[in-house]
Structure 1
Amino acid sequence: MARSSDLTADPSADAAAMLRRVGFAILFFAIPVAALLTRRAVVVLAPLAIMLLIIASLLDGGAKAPLDKLFSIVTSAGGLAGAILLLWTTLSLIWTPFVTEASERLLNIIGMALLALAGYLALPDRMRSANLYILPVGVGLTALLGMFIAFQGAGHLDQDGQSLERGMIVLALLLWPAVTWLHSRGRNLEALLLVVVVALGALLAADGLSLQGLAVGALIFVVTAVSPAFGTRLTALVMAGLLLLAPVLPFLLKPVAVLLGPDSPIAASLDVWRNVVLGEPLRLITGHGLETALRGRFFSLLPVNAPYTILFEIWYELGLVGAVAGAFLLYSAAMRSGEQRPALDPGIMAAFATAYTLGCLGVGTAQLWWFTALVVVVLVFVAIERGQFRTTRPKAVLHRRR
């Protein structure tokens, strides 16, 4: 007698599958769409999605050996560099003039790091393709929505000042995971079409930051696709090298400032950067403390036209120790990510290049939405890597009965 389906069904597994599907729908679809419509979309939706993934993992045990994975991350070279960077950032609270604001920012950083770890440990060891195909659909529809908004001339969509540009920046970051998934499935034509649609949406954005980030990411994607080892090492070395040599950049770029003229904002920023390096050389070792690069402008501790770039901010706030730890963290993260499946390397390096370019060009890297967006991108790439367990369908074999 056949057993009833009610007896063989596993309610906890069904509930976990539903929660996981909703969580991925929020990460892959709701976040890029909502980022165009409200300023707090990424900050609110990402923790909600990760909580759903955690509950799903507790219900069905889809994530195996979480403690071993956590130990592997903490003891890795990048994990140790991140711990040193976090420790030095905490110590900088001693000499920062903005202790309250810096403490709040530090708690946000720690919260995002813990959120990323929790999401990483909650992801199942094997991802269903049906869940991952939500990502390119969400990215494509968001790009079309952004183009529609740009044509309508609605640059600001809520009273909090959310702009089309911020939504396009989030979309530029999520494009590369979507392209990576399509490329790994052999859907290169769809991936190319997705890049074109997102690039057109970024072209319509007013400030052009997202388009510049996409251009650099596309270049690295092509280089890494031709030579994965060279593209990975190039990306890692450029990111780490620029951060380490940042105090030299305003002197090397002085001819560029002369060509632009003394009235150019870039020339004025480079002048401020050179004066900071020459005026307080000892501060290049310790930095001025967390939160001083942004708030120092409002209290005349730093000129208003100081550079808005992550290269200047890390050196100004955390000094040599923070810059070395950050450079090693970037290098280790890029090189370790390059050890994934070859089909994923171009998209991963393109995402590194896009995010780093946006940070160098002046995206508010100290803001919570930026940290949250980076966490989302990392989790999406991990999910894509765990969706590569089968690349070809098994062949059907007919067995003849003797």
Structure 2
Amino acid sequence: MARASHPSVDPALDAAALLRRIGFFGLFVLVPVTTQMGRRAAVILAPIAVVLLVLASAIDGKSGPWRPAAGRLLRMPAFLAGLLVILWAALSLVWTPFLDLAAERLLNLIATILLTFAGYLALPERMRSANLYLLPVGTAAAALVAILLGLFGHRLPGTPTEIDGTLDRGLTLLALLVWPAVAWLRSRGRDLESLGLALLVAVALVVSPNALQLTALAAGAAAFALTSLRPFLGVRVASLGAAALLVGAPLLPFLARPVASTLLGPASPGALSLKTWQKIVTTEPLRLVTGHGFETALRGRIVNLLPANAPTTLLFELWYELGVVGAVAAAFALQAAIRRSGRGTPVLVPGAMAAFAAAFTITCIGVGLTVMWWLTTLTVVILAFVAVARGQFRTRRPKASQIGHPETL
């Protein structure tokens, strides 16, 4: 009797598939859920998940040749402009008053960029739907955890407090991660589920009210709606708006302070913060060219080099530390990245614009330039969108009438 043939089993490929599944589970489920409860959860777990994805790619090679992919990325205008920002930050170490601390923070920033780069190269060229469905599942689970913590967290011992800020970090990740999850569900034709997920995240943000996350979610929703109705206009508004705010940031305190004084009062914290920003611009105009050096905004507050009520936003800190060179390069990089995302798969473009709008809103309201948990959050969101984009392929089955036709054989 002939022996029945069985497909060959390759333990290495099985191990790679298992490592990849664990990596995506960690990145899309564990990170968003544990970030609601642990301050450094994302900073610890995200690199571990990326390492697992890199190991899986090294074993089975499903990510494809890494050199052509790396070459295409390195030639992108957005990447080159971003590289200029890093080089200028490194050069600014010459005149920063906090050389050791600034060098350490710059190394951490470069390490995070390399981690994102490694994760990008390790993602398979064709993502399996089973791995991508972990993204909305993890986002929904994190939203449920956030709702429970918002409602009952104060009654439980050992849970994060408002002063601790842990839940705020988790909600910030939720406000961003919801958009690639919604984009994936919409690309699968699950519009009702995507709407339910967005509403669940909105409930999580409302239960633990914080102006930062709610404003970011609202900005993302507005960008999503505009891009869904008018794709070209949505991409154009997002790209030009972000670039204009970065380049014209020194003019903002002169324009916004009268408004803030009228609405909030001249002695309000917001108006006083804008007054401080305005004074810095007028008293040190030459510093608008070179900046004060990398890491001076945060450290300057500690040693009273900078007033304590100075703004803690990207718009202020970028100009204060890196001057016009860093600001213009960052603006070009952001604009180029947004415009490139706008040329992607049409069904994903509204979600991408929403994520850009939400992230930019967060940086403009109250997250520093190089805070590690924030950079790690951006890494998770970027890898999620790249993974969703690589899951946009379908194999079309031929119609019954076409079976047997020479062109289908």
What TM-score results when the alignment is normalised by the length of structure 2?
A: 0.94
Q: Mark the CA change 1:106 to 1:393 in structure 2 (over 3 Å): closer, same or farther.
A: farther
2:290 partner letter: T
Whether 1:189 and 2:180 are equivalent positions in the alignment is no
3-state SS of paired residue (1:296): helix
1:251 partner letter: F
Match of 2:252 in 1: 249
* Shift of residue 230, structure 1, vs aligned partner: 1.3
Match of 2:64 in 1: 64
1:204 partner letter: V
Match of 2:291 in 1: 287
Q: Distance in 2 between matches of 1:42 and 1:154?
A: 23
Match of 1:370 in 2: 374
* Shift of residue 263, structure 1, vs aligned partner: 1.3
Match of 1:322 in 2: 326
Aligned residue pair count: 399
* Shift of residue 83, structure 1, vs aligned partner: 1.3
Aligned partner of 1:265 among 257, 262, 269: 269
Q: Distance in 1 between matches of 2:113 and 2:310?
A: 29
Whether 1:332 and 2:339 are equivalent positions in the alignment is no
* Shift of residue 164, structure 1, vs aligned partner: 1.4
* Shift of residue 217, structure 1, vs aligned partner: 0.2
Q: Distance in 1 between matches of 2:333 and 2:53?
A: 27
Whether 1:309 and 2:290 are equivalent positions in the alignment is no
Match of 1:109 in 2: 109
2:31 partner letter: I
Q: Distance in 1 between matches of 2:330 and 2:193?
A: 36
- Is the 2:318–2:369 Cα contact (8 Å) retained in structure 1? no
- Is the 1:37–1:162 Cα contact (8 Å) retained in structure 2? no
- Is the 1:98–1:292 Cα contact (8 Å) retained in structure 2? yes
Q: Taking every aligned residue pair, what percent have the same amino acid on both sides?
A: 52
Q: Distance in 2 between matches of 1:369 and 1:395?
A: 50
2:301 partner letter: R
Structure 2 unmatched runs, 5+: none
Whether 1:88 and 2:88 are equivalent positions in the alignment is yes
* Shift of residue 163, structure 1, vs aligned partner: 2.3
Match of 1:176 in 2: 179
Deviation digits for residues 140-184 of structure 1 (CA, Å, limit 9, x no counterpart): 111111111111143973599352111111111110010000011
3-state SS of paired residue (1:253): helix
* Shift of residue 228, structure 1, vs aligned partner: 1.4
Structure 1 unmatched runs, 5+: none
Aligned partner of 1:213 among 213, 216, 237: 216
3-state SS of paired residue (1:268): helix
2:70 partner letter: L
What is the correspondence of 1:109-148 to structure 2 with a 5 Å cutoff?
109-148=109-148
Whether 1:17 and 2:20 are equivalent positions in the alignment is no
Q: Distance in 2 between matches of 1:193 and 1:113?
A: 33
Q: Distance in 1 between matches of 2:148 and 2:356?
A: 28
- Is the 1:73–1:79 Cα contact (8 Å) retained in structure 2? yes
Range that drifts further, 66-75 or 347-356: 66-75
Q: Mark the CA change 1:2 to 1:173 in structure 2 (over 3 Å): closer, same or farther.
A: farther
Q: Distance in 2 between matches of 1:393 and 1:374?
A: 38
Whether 1:342 and 2:374 are equivalent positions in the alignment is no
* Shift of residue 252, structure 1, vs aligned partner: 1.1
Q: Distance in 2 between matches of 1:334 and 1:302?
A: 33
Match of 2:206 in 1: 203
Q: Mark the CA change 1:394 to 1:176 in structure 2 (over 3 Å): closer, same or farther.
A: farther
- Is the 1:157–1:163 Cα contact (8 Å) retained in structure 2? no
* Shift of residue 391, structure 1, vs aligned partner: 7.0
Deviation digits for residues 355-382 of structure 1 (CA, Å, limit 9, x no counterpart): 0000001023421111111011111111
Aligned partner of 2:365 among 354, 361, 364: 361
Q: Distance in 2 between matches of 1:22 and 1:42?
A: 16
- Is the 1:220–1:350 Cα contact (8 Å) retained in structure 2? yes
Match of 1:45 in 2: 45
Q: Mark the CA change 1:391 to 1:352 in structure 2 (over 3 Å): closer, same or farther.
A: farther
What TM-score results when the alignment is normalised by the length of structure 1?
A: 0.95
3-state SS of paired residue (2:302): coil
Whether 1:34 and 2:34 are equivalent positions in the alignment is yes
- Is the 1:224–1:345 Cα contact (8 Å) retained in structure 2? yes
1:30 partner letter: L
Q: Distance in 2 between matches of 1:89 and 1:339?
A: 30
CA-atom RMSD in angstroms: 1.8
* Shift of residue 65, structure 1, vs aligned partner: 2.1
Q: Distance in 1 between matches of 2:45 and 2:307?
A: 36
Aligned partner of 2:159 among 157, 160, 173: 157
Q: Distance in 2 between matches of 1:392 and 1:27?
A: 30
3-state SS of paired residue (1:83): helix
- Is the 2:112–2:376 Cα contact (8 Å) retained in structure 1? yes
2:47 partner letter: P
